[in-house]
Structure 1
């Protein structure tokens, strides 16, 4: 959707809420809100191929690689309110490793879409598996959801934890346990 259309829709939303979009404090708000939404949902304009950009490197390492505490910001697809948290991502390489920043960029690409945390966790795991062909991939996400904090049940201290384990992380309790212990240190 174009910036012009989004701006018009935000103008209408303000009017429908009983506000005057022309009052001093709201002048320019529809445009700013439209730009913010485009930024928050920029993952729709990114692709896995562009993100990875060939950053796979030969390596003899066959031990677990973990990138933990990757901050993430996403938008709940049910209420279009933010959820904020961190992802812990691990994989066991099979002859090649991915550039470190690419793991965080993959998290961001999927997080910057209207989303539910359960799907986000799986999308990250499957994307990393597809580009690395790892023996296994594990993703754990911990997040706080504004849709649960600001409205509805209004539970301020609740957080949601999701996990997806693929390959060796699913098939080996020892591997899974090692990962879980390392991300809680």
Structure 2
């Protein structure tokens, strides 16, 4: 059995966006390092402004409009007036909880908090660089339905929709290619697309799995997530050692136990030193 294992070298994610003033965010005039050059003559922030989705790589697309966040770019815009109003609300909440907003360190905390939440949920906007696929490297034989591409650990940070507390961990993605393979960096982008929003781990894994299946129409797709949830560590039962692990299978992985075992063995071996 042939196996292709790709290990991702961690690169720190983007942090502070550089916003200094409130206003319409991520509009067409704004230059963003992570949004890339204009596509088809249009700035990335203008892409997918209407409801008509673009064709996907290799003509692969689904007639159902649901579950296709991976092929849409929908920038969020907040007016100056709304942004200032939200800052006022947040200031009231923080003061009611006990924070003094009169110190040099807290005077702009309501604004910084809103910016941080905005940046942490940029997955709702889509990613115009996501769908980049290439022809398969397998041209016949049994390996074409058994050889796996496995990438991980891919770090991610998400916000639990129940308490808006972070949960974070690592993702491992595997697939058995059919007609296309995807650029390795796009697997990281796919994870971040669904992690950077308000969500739950179970939904996040399902969305990654379904999106990768739709993009590639692969023989099989596997996703393994492991994460620490601060909503159980900082409040409630206050667990200190718990890690949540979830698995998701499509195609050949559902019917082939050996394929699943091989994927999990690789993922768990890479997990040593992280949470396992």
Q: What band does the TM-score fall into relative to the shorter chain?
A: over 0.9
Task: Check if 1:139 corresponds to 2:234.
Answer: no
The 5 Å alignment of 1:20-31 reads: 20-31=100-111
Task: Check if 1:88 corresponds to 2:133.
Answer: no
C-alpha distance after superposition, 1:5-64 (max 9, x if no partner) = 4323321211222433233331011111011000111111115xx2424x1101233321
Identify the match of residue 57 of structure 1 among 131, 134, 142.
Answer: 134
Question: Which structure has the bigger radius of gyration?
Answer: 2
Q: Which runs of 5+ in 1 are unaligned?
A: none
Measure, in 2, the Cα distance between the counterparts of 1:96 and 1:66: 15
Measure, in 2, the Cα distance between the counterparts of 1:5 and 1:70: 37
Task: Check if 1:16 corresponds to 2:96.
Answer: yes
Measure, in 2, the Cα distance between the counterparts of 1:172 and 1:6: 51
Task: Check if 1:7 corresponds to 2:87.
Answer: yes
Deviation at 1:177, TM superposition (A): 1.1
TM-score calculated relative to the size of structure 1: 0.92
- Bigger share in strand: 1
**Alpha carbon RMSD of aligned pairs, Å?**
1.5
TM-score calculated relative to the size of structure 2: 0.63
Please tell me whether the aligned partners of residues 51 and 106 of structure 1 are also in contact (alpha carbons under 8 angstroms): no
Q: Which runs of 5+ in 2 are unaligned?
A: 1-76, 139-143, 270-276
Task: Check if 1:41 corresponds to 2:125.
Answer: no
Identify the match of residue 101 of structure 1 among 176, 179, 185.
Answer: 185
Measure, in 2, the Cα distance between the counterparts of 1:168 and 1:5: 51
Measure, in 1, the Cα distance between the counterparts of 2:265 and 2:98: 52
Q: 1:75 to 1:175 in 2, by over 3 A?
A: same
Measure, in 1, the Cα distance between the counterparts of 2:167 and 2:258: 31
SS, match of residue 26 in structure 1:
coil
